[in-house]
Structure 1
Amino acid sequence: MTTILVIEDVDALREEIMETLTYEGFNVLGAENGLVGVRMAQTHLPNLIISDVAMPELDGYGALSILRQNPETGMIPFIFLTAKAEKADMRQAMQLGADDYLTKPFTSEELLGSIAARLRKYDSIKEHYQEENEQATVKLAHLSHYDDLTQLPNRILFHSLLRESILHSQLNHKQIALLFLDIDNFNIINNTLGYDIGDQLFKAIAERLRRHVSPSDVVARLRGDEFAVIFVDPINAEQVKLKVQKILDLLSKSFSLCGQNIFITTSIGITLYPNDHHEADELIKNADLAMYHAKAQGRNSYQFYSSQLNTQSSEHMALANSLHQAFEQNEFRLHYQPLLDLKTKQIVGAEALIRWQHPKLGLVMPGKFIPIAEETGLILRLGEFVITSVCQQLQAWQQKGLPHGRIAINLSGQHFRLQDSLRHTIAKILRDYNISPIHLEVELTESEIMQNSDRTIQVLSELRNIGIHIAIDDFGTGYSSLSYLKHFPVDTLKIDRCFVQDVTTDRHDAAITIAMIDLAHNLSLNVIAEGVETEEQLAFLTQNGCDRMQGYLFSRPVPPEEFEKMVMGGKHL
């Protein structure tokens, strides 16, 4: 029933209006002044208010002003009753938000006509706002459950769909597979091509995945460059392998965006229900853990979850926690692997390699803790420790008159993404220990070089300009394009051990190694072979003009005292 509030200080007029409206079927409330009227309006929220202008305590203008400021009463239609002498003041009423006015005296027809017109308009406005509110509710529900860029289910909806899939599988005694997909090195695309193309690529990836899976399967975008797939068809581990390999092949095909062909690789973690767990949250943890393991194994691959991964994850976390303490406990050590000239067979330098002397685990090799240092950001602190320790050692050797040669240090790509110049850091340490830059060589892998090529060229040029040598480590294992060699300020190429180890038994490795030596020499670069372990490998490299070598054939990485004895004793091949 429609409720009307009548605010009028003249009792007889108020009673007459209320009686008329009651007779017409309205629910009518009465208030003797503006103050009482405001309280009744806020309590009962009537559908319409009729109010006199001139009243004691609080007039009609004041009542209207208060009600319009309250969201609950601000939209209620408001009709003023005014004497003829007050008619000129109605402009103020309309400015305050009044909907209509009636001049006293007025007939019942005039009163009911004005009320009917105001209620129709109010109903129309109310209906419009309800419709807008419903549309906004639907849109909000969509935004809260779907990724705005790809229109795939987001993390919230994905959790719900996974639980539904588990329930369905329980009832039908079926197996499901949950996949977590992470696009490898996606930040390189954003940094080199821009975020607009990055967004276009996300949409293209989503569309490929959506077209590839069956209608009953689920594809979702969880965050950033991470997607998820739920295979809900009857499925076993072998079928999962085939499906996942198809996804890897599908995503490795080029994407044509804005006139450019873009290639990506993907790391995928897989967990199976009910084999691995029965709960959705635990399955999510399993798939996430397996995905990170696939990434650690070299990317562009998939990894099934196993309980062994939990053990490895626990070890990983324990090492990460211990790594912070290792700096304070002075647990890092530097070993030096001698570098030999293949013409003179003499030691001409060394590569500084970090080791972690863990109080419980013993000597921890870099392959275990360097990736953790990269993840935690401690790699920057570790790099500065290596530079400082090498310069400190060089100072000690120079004071002894030891002909140590050039010492190479390995730096992470993270060092080249800092805003502050790496040159300033290294130059300061060199000055502190009075070391000439010509005794230092910086090594960087191909993959690290390409992560932010413009920035890397700038930093490497700065280092080379002050006399530091630059080497590309693990040459031949990174990007296939050799055009970057024209642009990067490089002095040395280091041929990766994966080519050297079979150079005398595999004609392909032999051909590649010879080609890399020739390429380097044609570009006026030195060539160092890593991982030389046999006399046959040494003979092949010497015969084909390789300049220098390092490897177990001559020496493993050794503590500085042993390296010092080798140099002082004149040890040679």
Structure 2
Amino acid sequence: MIGKRQERIAGIAERLRAGQWPQSLALVGAAGLATHWFGLAALILAVPLAFLALALSDRRQTPPLTDEAARSAPMQQAIAESLGAARQGGARTACLLLQIDDFDRLTDRHGLATADRVILQSLERLARALRPADQLFDLGSGRLGVLLAPMPGLTLGPLLALAERLRVALTDPIPFDAATLHISTSLGLCLDAQAPARTAPALYDACLAALHEAQHHGPSAIRAYGRGMAAPTPLPRALAEEVTTALQDGRLITWFQPQICTDTGQITGFEALARWQHPTAGLIAPAEFLPLLAASGRMEVLGDAMLGNALRALQTWDHLGLDIPRVGLNLSPEELRNPTLPEKFAWELDRCDLAADRLVIEVLESVVATSADDVITRNIAALARMGCPIDLDDYGTGHASIATIRRFAVQRLKIDRSYVTAIDRDPDQQRMVGAILSMADRLGLATLAEGVETAGEHAMLAQLGCAHVQGFGIARPMPLEATPDWIAAHRAKLGPMPRIARAKG
């Protein structure tokens, strides 16, 4: 059913490109009936779905993400027209921006065809929740725009309620091969009356600022524009040179995210994560700058800085008597190809007077699955012999075999977030994670679930027998100086806890 509907809408897109509007609208009506939109409802939804198909047809011509003005030009033009109509009719309008969380990662992992399917499904679901006169825009890279047609008496309350309906509409699982995909969406919105000025650029930028704020509090966050919010500063074109300078100047910093035991709630470690504090663009996530460092051959330099910061964090916690068992450090393929890597780690651990078992080495499953018997294999084996625990990161995405897991002396599987999302509501997710946990138990491996965002996900993972969790539902990454207060607050909340029986088999 899904495949046939996609074929229909792909055909609509072709006709729209050819200017065949009457045939396109007729096909849209048919597609609506095929998805159980009966009678008049199918015709009413024809216009939003036509925009949906047109947006999909233009996806490959969308300008790059960094060129915000070019990407948003069609939507800004529509905003200008909507503002003009609202003024004449004494009505209000509003725009909303939705960003599918981790969309680049989804595309890299599952391919462009699956990413297109996600966009198509998302636009279709949004169209169902909107009025026929409202407009939808595909802004590229997993960002979707909604422009509400002018209406009398539109206020923030109903707008927020609509935003929540749109967000929830995108949480339903999306069929993907024999399984399902779960996505989450960050959403920013602005009512025209709340924008700094009643102009298209001002309203769009205000909405973008709200989205930027939501992403900082996401995933799945909703934020309305408020005074004091600022649109994110576009990253400069000479970013590759800037990130190299930032690395040299120490502006690539290390933040730490806690990991806790599902049985006791006790802190079992932290993961060290790289962040870039840009002077004008603010805090930049790794997805923005790590590819630039990799392309310029600077990943090892960053790795050295991260290693030093991770070991200093352990020393700091020890000095404060905080009893943090270990810290996890991600190693890139570039670092793992350095034949002197084990000696460097041994020297740094000895210099800091720290036992090797307190430094967890996190290696992507995709790296392990594709590495032959080469320097990477020997380095991981040498670190394991040294006493460093080996975590297999993003497990479930890289097709590592059991033999590979044994060959690399893996001690713990970090279950990827894609298997964790909505696990408390989706039986398929529960079965998948249950199978991973059963295999891990039989192989004598520990487990940690990444990307835990809700209490329900946390509780279900505990019931299934996952020993450790981390994610925004536990705590966001934080600078080292913020960790002592968080540790104290977390431990103060812990009381006598009932032990949750683990599922076996």
TM-score, normalisation: structure 2 = 0.52
1:389-428 matches, within 5 Å, as: 389-418=309-338, 420-428=339-347
Counterpart in the other structure of 1:122: none
Amino acid at match of 2:349: L
SS at 1:443 equivalent: strand
Displacement of 1:321 after TM fit?
1.5
Whether 2:292 is the aligned partner of 1:372: answer: yes
Contact 2:368-2:404 within 8 A present in 1 as well = no
The residue matched to 1:454 in structure 2 has which SS? coil
Gaps of 5+ in 2: 1-13, 19-57, 64-102, 117-137, 142-233, 495-505
- Counterparts in 2 of 1:236 and 1:480: CA distance versus 1, 3 Å: farther
Residue deviations 1:89-146, cap 9 Å, x none?
Answer: xxxxxxxxxxxxxxxxxxxxxxxxxxxxxxxxxxxxxxxxxxxxxxxxxxxxxxxxxx
Q: Which residue of 2 aligns with 1:454?
A: 373
**Distance in 2 separating the partners of 1:270 and 1:519:** 41
Take 1:316 and 1:475, find their aligned partners in 2: how far apart are those partners? 34
Structure 2 match to 1:560:
480
Change (3 A) 1:572 1:524: farther
For the Cα contact (< 8 Å) 1:417–1:452, is it kept in 2?
A: no
Q: 1:480 deviation in Å?
A: 6.1
Distance change in 2, residues 1:356/1:294 (3 Å): closer
CA distance in structure 2 between the partners assigned to 1:399 and 1:534 by the alignment: 33
The alignment status of 1:430 with 2:367, answered yes or no, reads: no
Provide the C-alpha distance between the structure 2 equivalents of 1:298 and 1:320, rounded to a whole number of angstroms: 21
Alpha-carbon distance in structure 1 between the residues aligned to 2:443 and 2:288: 35
Q: Does 2:322 correspond to 1:511?
A: no
For 2:276, the equivalent position in structure 1 comes to 356
Deviation at 1:412?
0.7
Residue of structure 2 aligned with 1:301, choices 112, 116, 123: 112
Across the aligned residues of Structure 1 and Structure 2, the Cα RMSD in angstroms comes to 3.4
* 1:521 has 2:441 as partner: yes
Show structure 1 runs of 5+ residues with no match: 1-233, 239-268, 277-292
Distance in 1 of aligned mates of 2:335 and 2:370: 12
Question: What is the number of residues matched between the two proteins?
Answer: 288
Change (3 A) 1:296 1:358: farther
Identical positions, percent: 30
Separation in 1, partners of 2:387, 2:345: 12
Larger relative contact order (CA 8 Å, sep ≥ 6)? 2
> Residue 325 and residue 447 in structure 1: after superposition, are their counterparts in 2 closer, same or farther (change >3 A)?
same
Equivalence for 2:362: 443
CA distance in 2 between partners of 1:352 and 1:572 (Å): 24
Tell me how far 1:351 sits from its aligned partner. 0.7
Q: Find the counterpart in structure 2 of residue 547 from structure 1.
A: 467
Bigger-Rg structure (1/2): 1
1:515 maps to amino acid: A
- Residue pairs, 1:88-487, within 5 angstroms: 297-298=107-108, 300-301=111-112, 315=235, 317-418=237-338, 420-455=339-374, 456-479=376-399, 481-487=401-407
1:421 partner letter: T
| One-letter amino acid of the counterpart of residue 407, structure 1 | V
Shift of residue 401, structure 1, vs aligned partner: 2.3
Corresponding position: 1:502 with 2:502: no
Do the aligned partners of 2:326 and 2:358 also contact (CA within 8 Å) in 1?
yes
Give the Cα–Cα distance (whole angstroms) in 1 for the partners of residues 397 and 319 of structure 2.
39
Aligned-pair distance for 1:500?
A: 0.7
Cα pair distance change 1:435/1:504, threshold 3 Å:
same
Q: CA separation in 2, counterparts of 1:295 and 1:527?
A: 22
Residues 387-408 of structure 1 deviation map (CA, whole Å, 9 limit, x = unaligned): 0111122222222322111100
Distance in 2, Cα, partners of 1:464 & 1:495: 20
Q: Check conservation: 1:403, 1:567, Cα contact below 8 A.
A: no
TM-score when scaled to structure 1?
0.46
